[in-house]
Each structure stands twice: as C-alpha cells, then as structure tokens.
Chains A and B, each alone.
Chain A
Amino acid sequence: MSRRGSGTDFVVNAVGRRVPTAVNKQEQVPFAGVGGYEPKGKKRAPPIRSCRDYPADGDKRVSDLKTALKKCGLRDGMTISTHHHLRNGDAVALMALNTAAELGVRDLMWFPSASFPCHAPVIDLMERRVVHHIEGSMNGPLGEYCSHGKMRGMGVLRSHGGRWQAIQDGEVPIDIAVIAAPAADPFGNADGSHGPSACGSLGFALADSIYADHVIVVTDNLVPFPCIPWQIQGNNVDYVVEVDSIGDPAKIVSGTTEITKSPDRLMIAEYVARFLRDTGIMREGFSFQAGAGGIALAFVQFLKETMKEAGVKARFVRGGSTQYLVDLLREGLTDYILDGQTFDLAAVESIASDPRHIATSPFTSYNYHGKGNFASMVDAVVLGATEVDVKFNANVNTHSDGVLLHGIGGWQNCLFAGCTVLALPSFRDRIPVLVDEVTTVTGPGELIDVVVTERGVAINPRRTDLLESVKSSDLPIRPIEELKEEVERIMGGPPAEAQLTDRPVAVIKWVDGTVLDTVWQVETGGA
C-alpha cells in the first residue's frame, strides 16, 4: 500500500481543522474564513483552435469512442472529465474509462462532476491502475474505497461551484471532457431536454466544454444540424460519437418523486414552512431553493399551502426541480424555475416545453469566480446534512464513523442564500445528528442560520434579526445546545469519537479553492 500521505505537512485553518499543505503534489491554501481568501491572476484558457482544422460541413462524427479518444491524444496520466446529469443511469463515464483501459493507458485522473452507485466499477479500474485517483464526489462503495486508504492519490471534493472555480483558475486542467448528450447534432450542439435519455439541464458539463483541451460529445440521439435548443455549443466540441445508449432512462429520471411519509419528517417540513412565514421571508416576490430530498419536497408542499393562504407568490424558485416545483409554476405561485438539475419526468417535460422553466449552470448559480452568482440572491434555501454541531458547522460528506459517503453537490454554494435552513431529524436511529463537533466540516457555521428538527428550531445567535422576527411565533424555538443535550439523553450518552488514523485520504475544498477539512483514513477494515 502506498504511504505517500505519511510525509505530508499540515496546518490548522480558520475553522480549526488540520489540513494538508499539499494535495497530490499541488500546494494548497488553507481555508481563511468566509471571504477571507482573494485569488489573483488570469483565468485559464484552452489552447487556441481554428476552424480551418475542423470539417467545413460541420460533421465532426467519428466511428466510435476509441477513435475519438485516440484523436484527442489520450495518454498516461491525463485528466478525463464526465458529468452526472444522467445520475445513477449514466453509462458514458464507464464507457469512456473502460475504452481508455482498452487503449492501455494508466494513471488517469477521473474528474466527474459527481459520482453515483452505478460508477462503483471504477474501483476495479483503480485496482488495475487505469485510474489513479478521483477528484469529485465519492459515494457508497467509492467512498468506502477511499476511506479505507486504497486510492493511490488523495480525493478532492468540491462543490458544483468549486468545480467551476477549479477549472477556471487552472487548478484542474482537463485534458479530455466526455459529455453525454440526450440529443446532439453532428456539429456537437447538445441538449439535455429531448430524446429517449432526456435528463433536463446539461449545466454540469458547460465549464468542461469551454475549458477542456478536448471535448467529445457522446449521444444516442443524433439529430440533423441544428440541435435546438442547444445547451452545449458545438463550436467548443472536437468530436461527436454516436452510441446505442448513453444510459438507463429509468435511472436517469424517476417516474415520480415521493414525498416523505414519516410523520416526524413531515413535521420538520411543516416547521420550515411556518418559519419562512413567521419571519416574513415568505412575502410577495420572494425566492427559495429546495432540493429533492423527502423533507425538502414536503416543505415545498407545506409552503405552497402557506403561500396560498397568505396570497403571495415567488418571483423565482431554484431547482433541483421536481413535479412539486412544476406545480408551483403551473399554478402561478412562481414566475420562474431556475433549474440546475431535473429530477423527475414531470420536471423534464416542463423544462422542455415551458419557457418559464430555465436551465441554469454552476456558472450562473454558484461559481466563485463569477461577478456574482444566483446563490446569494436567493432569499431562503432548505438543505439537509448528516451532522450539525453546536457552532452550527455542518457535515454532508462523512458519516459519524468518519467514512466518506456523500459528495458536496451544490450544498456549500447554497449556504450563501439570505437564510440558510438545515432541515433534518435530530437523530437517525441511534446516530445523533446534533453533536458537539462535526466529524467533517463541509460548511462553516457562520453561514448556517437555522437548524430545524422535529424537537425544535435552533437559530444561529449571529442572526439576531431572525431571532427578533420569530418573537411572536408559536414555533418551538430552542437553543441548539439544549436540543443537542436532549438528543444525547435519548441516545443514552454522547457517542464515542470516530476511530481515525492520521493519514489523509481526501480533502474538502471550500468554494474559493481553499482547503476546509481533511478526510482521514478510517481505522477498521483497511485491508
């Protein structure tokens, strides 16, 4: 087993976490506080290309992916990027990496915008040394693999916005981007809202299409030029490859998205809706973002009723979109859906047909190097977490035993909303969610305003304005320490500390590219 990590130097950063000064031989900047680091310099640019080198008739098709990768000059040690708009139904990432394996290359860095359980076979490619390491979310088996110290390089986890930042400021130069397209023309214009594998927005692939040295579009639905609308511009694309299938439609979008049936979770969702009402955040022309988790969906339903009662509508809502947001749009309760990801059939249909349902990208929504972004313009966002501590720091990456099990997604970026609400149960079975100190800091407490649990609502003491605004509310507003102590009593005492080694296996990046925290190899099962 490689022990490269053992010689690493560490510093303690602004949230008091010990972080490595170098990751995969690249020097790092430790987290310096929110807004505390000011990057300088020029943005990265891809090599100059000229149209004289591309077919004048616009037909960039090649016979297969192998040919395309060869033409892109694939060789050992390159960085290959793929994207997760096909979610757990994606076949293209594995297709690209397996083809690279067939070509005999080694030590690739895989740079997905997120990974899903369907990507577990990448473990085998890492064992065979085709893939060196992953910079991107590592869920389920990939997270276990990394946590047990089996990956050769260190994992780097970034938010959706942080991924864009890392591409733009040259931290991650992409050699070859492989973009799965539910519809594309021979020129490389690509769209996600049409075709048998329709998934909605292709926003996660946009940065790669602009900044990668080489761009390959892979589609199972080739249409004659022009592919309308296009989300990816063919002018950025080198080659187009036609395949039988880019994924499993049943796993790309769900037929329906289910609201939670758990009475405790419904109560949490109802509290969040009442909180937005009682604080006055819910008012004519407001905006909010909620994900597709069970509590978030139920929250949208409760908020909808509350909005109707109060006779107010939103100017815009941000997705992850589902049928429940689409209902708001159709019933005139919001003017627009600004959508980052499209989860179910109703939402895919809506984004394809309703001009008020707009596909956005991490550039418009989250990018740190943009001249502003949408995330901070949203009035309220409702998110989940695996742990929150009494300083309001939250963790979405590791479980309480220290094992890496989730990516960051847009979670960190969303913390910049006017009011950030974490809606979560105070414990799961016998796993406390409210704790003294989170296992991993994914979000610093200064950006987390409210924690809503089934046992009460805790407001960050920094937000005196919110505390003031709920004075006459009948919500159970309680100090977070009191909630934590209650949970500890129910659990039968505080949990033992996670058993971790001193060897870093991954880092959590903050939205500005600094290192927020370290994921350590877990003690058990490392064989």
Chain B
Amino acid sequence: MMSGGAGHGAAGPTGDDVRSDLRVEIELADKGGVRIELESKVASLYGDSIRDTAQAVLAALGVEHARVAIDDKGGLPFTIAARVEAAARRAGAKGKGDARPERMVARQGPTKRDRLRRSRLYLPGNQPKLMINAGLHHPDGIILDLEDSVHPDEKDTARLIVRNALRSVDFAGAERMVRINQLPLGFEDLKAIVPEGPDLILIPKVEEAGQVEEVDERIRGVRAKDGDGHPIWLMPILESALGIENAFAVARAAETVVALTIGLEDYTADLGVVKTKEGDESLYARTRLVNAARGAGIQAIDSVYGDVGDTEGLTAWARRSRALGFEGMGCIHPRQIQPIHDAFAPSSEEIEKALRIVSAFDEAQAAGLGVVRLGTKMIDPPVVLRAQRLVKNARRMGLIAEEES
C-alpha cells in the first residue's frame, strides 16, 4: 500500500467500487505551503469541508508544506481525518498535536457488567462505510475489529479509523467494543483506543490469565491519565486447546472480565479438525467454556455462524448455543441480528411457566412459608432461581410488559 520513498505516504482504498471512503497521497515538501488537489464526487457539495478537514489534520501534525492528492468517493469527515492522518504519518509527519476530529457523540457511562450481550456485530476496522449505519440494526454490541479483518499493512490506518469512529459515529445504544490485535501489537491499539472510552475490549487468542492481567493493567494506566474513570470491560477470546484448558483462570484474571468467548476457526485449526455446521468437534470446548464462565460468575458468549445466507442454520446453531448455556453469539452481518435475538429469547411457554413459579415463590415468601408450591407440585429452590433469571432476562429483552412484572 505504501509507495515512494521518504516524504511520501498514501492511505485509503483505490478502485471503482470504493464508496464512503477516499484515497489520500501526501508528498512532504520544504516550501510552498499545503497544496491540496481534490477529486471528489461530492466536490460541489462538500469540497470546502473536505479541504478544511485535511488542512486541520495536517496542521495538528505539524505539516506546513506538502502536496496532497485526495481521491474522494464520499468519505465522511471522520474517515477523511483518519486517512489524511495515516498518509501523513506514513510520509513521516512526526507532529504530536491532536489530529482527532471533533467529538460528535457524547461519552456514555459504563455499560452494566451483565447487560444483554446476545449479539455483537463485527465491523472490519478499515471499512468505515460499514460503521456508519451499523447501530440502526440494533445489535446488543458492535465490535470495531482491528485484528483478523484488517490486513497487516493496514493496522495503523484501521486504528485511526476506529479511534475516530468512536468519537464520531452514533452506534445507537449498542455496547461499543473493540477487538485489539494479539499482544504486543494490541498494546499499541490500547494507547490509541482507550482514551476514547470504548465500553469493552476483546482480547484475541488468550491462553493464559497473565495476558488478561496485562491488558487490564495497561488500560488502567491509560485511563489514569486520559479517561473518565469508569471501567472498560474485557472479553477474552479463547481460540486454542490451551486457552480452553485455562478458561477458568482467564475468567478470573481481572475484575473487569465480564464474558468469555471462543473463536472456532482457530480452535478447530489448533485441534486439526474440520469445523462443521453442527459443531460436534467443539462441543467439549464450548461446554467447558460455559462452565468456567458460570463458575466465575460471568457470561459465556458463543462464536459466529459464518454462512450469512443460511438463516435456518444460524437459528439452529443459536438455539443449541442457548441450550448449552451461552448468552449470546457474534454476527458478521446485520441480517443475522434478529434471528439471533429470537433464538436467544425464551419461548412464551417458558416465560409463562417462570412467571408462575416466581409469583408462587413471592406468595410463599409473603406468607412466611419455607416451601414453594405450584398446584400440587413442590418447587425446589434452584428451579425458583432459574425462573427468576429467566424472568429478568425476558424483561430486559422486552418480552414481558411492565404491567405483568
């Protein structure tokens, strides 16, 4: 991607199918000021705005003289700022000024430790156009991915896109997650991302508790000088046999770990087996992970279902997941969100039964009775507990109207 020698840098995609994005090439110079050549499909609407954005970023990076060529296909300001910054840095701009775009979305308070995490939508970190409307599909979480979906040569620019997106894109209440790269590259990601206050960091390919402790420590370090004080949750991804064996220790590695999840592509590769739609080959790993998570009092979240066109297969997988004890799974396409929410929702029969058990329990409590009865049947305490959890979840999913509660 990078071309030319010293003083030259380029960033952003090229080609006819580029949309909501841009290509920037920068040649640093000794004199002549900043000269911008702009080719844009929205030049008549936003030409001045594009130039202003580029000028501001270059000024922040201390670039006084440069030739800048922008080939824009309708990139939004946060994308323009990231591509210009990436190109300038690749050209060798060393300025330490703040080149971040103006914050457009308010900082939000911490998400709840045990909030609903049925669906989390993966968004490749180097594809800003997929981020813009992602929140409208109402996943419980979005993941801005810096790891596997980003080419190794594009890690720097993806990091800037993700950083800017956290400041600029309204994800409509979805939990804002970032998947960092494997350590130690992931530490670089944390430096750029953590000050923007994502809600949760996914740590890939975790095998030892120590990796999680280190990430937690780094986050606290960055938060101390450049944060708003509230915690950033962690979701370690176990993607190997060793990771699975250490699941419980990983789950308890830090107070901020709120969920464990599994990466099945890497896990099955590690075992040397084929990944199937039924998932028998990973049954042990997944049930082990569920047990470790529950043992540590955190959520167990399943992997993704890779065939976007197969909604039936997705639903079947998600139902099995729920039956195994998972509370959610990943999505790689917005159309997967609703089927997953449906599959992880308790059925109306389940809800009705749970409500009857809970009300029987409440009545028994009120009457000072130690034994809960439903009709002629005696209800054991664990059954009550399970019913209470189900009712709580159903309420959060909006499946029980207020008057029934």
Contacts and interface: CB of A to CB of B under 8 A. Distances in A.
- Say whether A and B bind each other: yes
Interface of A: 263-264, 266-267, 400-402, 428-432, 454-455, 489-493, 495-496, 498-499, 524
Given A263-B335, A429-B41, A429-B73, A491 B136 contact: no
Contacts of A524: 44
A521 B133 CA distance: 35
B73 to A, nearest CB: 7
B335 A496 contact: no
A496 B45 contact: yes
Nearest to B336: A263
Given A263-B334, A492-B77, A431 B49 contact: no
B72 to A, nearest CB: 8
A432 to B, nearest CB: 8
24 contacts: A267-B137, A267-B334, A400-B45, A401-B44, A401-B45, A428-B74, A429-B19, A429-B41, A429-B73, A429-B74, A431-B74, A432-B45, A454-B136, A455-B136, A490-B76, A490-B132, A491-B76, A492-B49, A492-B53, A492-B76, A492-B77, A496-B44, A496-B46, A524-B44
A267 B337 CA distance: 12
B45 A454 contact: no
For the residues of A in contact with B, the DSSP-based class is: loop
A454 B46 contact: no
Contacts of A498: 44-45
B277 to A, nearest CB: 22
B132 to A, nearest CB: 7
B104 A489 contact: yes
Interface in B55-97: 73-77
Q: Which of A431, A492, A496 has the most CB of B within 10 A?
A: A492
Interface in B1-52: 19-20, 41-42, 44-49
Given A263-B333, A430-B20, A496 B76 contact: no
Interface residues of B, number: 25
Contacts of A400: 44-45
Contacts of A401: 44-45
Contacts of A496: 44-48
Contacts of A267: 136-137, 334
Contacts of A490: 76, 132
A496 B45 CA distance: 5
Given A431-B41, A492-B76, A493-B49, 4 more contacts: A401-B44, A429-B41, A430-B20, A430-B76
A491 to B, nearest CB: 7
A401 B43 CA distance: 9
Contacts of B335: 263, 266
A267 B135 CA distance: 12
A442 to B, nearest CB: 19
Contacts of A495: 42, 45-46
B103 to A, nearest CB: 12
A439 B34 CA distance: 34
A98 to B, nearest CB: 32
Nearest to B20: A429
B334 A491 contact: no
Contacts of B132: 490
B133 A454 contact: yes
Nearest to B398: A474
Interface of B: 19-20, 41-42, 44-49, 53, 73-77, 104, 129, 132-133, 136-137, 333-335
B42 A429 contact: yes
Contact of A431 (B42, B48, B104, B137): B42
A455 B133 CA distance: 9
Q: Which of A263, A266, A491, A495 has the most CB of B within 10 A?
A: A263
Given A263-B137, A263-B335, A429-B19, A492 B46 contact: yes
A499 B20 CA distance: 23
Contact of A430 (B45, B133, B137, B333): B45
Q: Which of B45, B133, B136, B334 has the most CB of A within 10 A?
A: B45
Given A401-B44, A430-B42, A492-B49, A264 B76 contact: no
Contacts of B45: 400-401, 430-432, 495-496, 498
Contacts of B48: 496
Contacts of A492: 46, 49, 53, 76-77
Nearest to A522: B44
A80 to B, nearest CB: 35
A454 B137 CA distance: 9
Contacts of A263: 137, 333-335
Nearest to B18: A429
Nearest to A426: B133
A100 to B, nearest CB: 37
Nearest to A489: B104
A429 B50 CA distance: 14
Nearest to B335: A263
Contacts of B74: 428-431
B46 A430 contact: yes
Nearest to B19: A429
A454 B133 CA distance: 8
A524 B45 CA distance: 13
A499 B76 CA distance: 22
Contacts of A499: 44
A246 to B, nearest CB: 32
Contacts of A432: 45
A263 B137 CA distance: 8
Contacts of B333: 263
Nearest to A432: B45
Nearest to A524: B44
Contacts of B53: 492
B130 to A, nearest CB: 9
B70 to A, nearest CB: 13
Q: Please provide the 8 A-B residue pairs with the shortest distance between their CB atoms, ordered closest to farther.
A: A429-B74, A495-B45, A263-B334, A430-B74, A492-B77, A401-B44, A429-B20, A430-B42
Contacts of A491: 46, 76
Contacts of A454: 133, 136
Contacts of B44: 400-402, 496, 498-499, 524
Contacts of B46: 430, 491-493, 495-496
Contacts of B76: 430, 490-492
A455 B20 CA distance: 18
Contacts of B49: 492-493
A264 B129 CA distance: 12
A496 B48 CA distance: 9
A486 to B, nearest CB: 9
A430 B334 CA distance: 21
A519 to B, nearest CB: 15
Contacts of B334: 263, 267
A522 to B, nearest CB: 9
Contacts of B104: 489
A135 to B, nearest CB: 27
A366 to B, nearest CB: 33
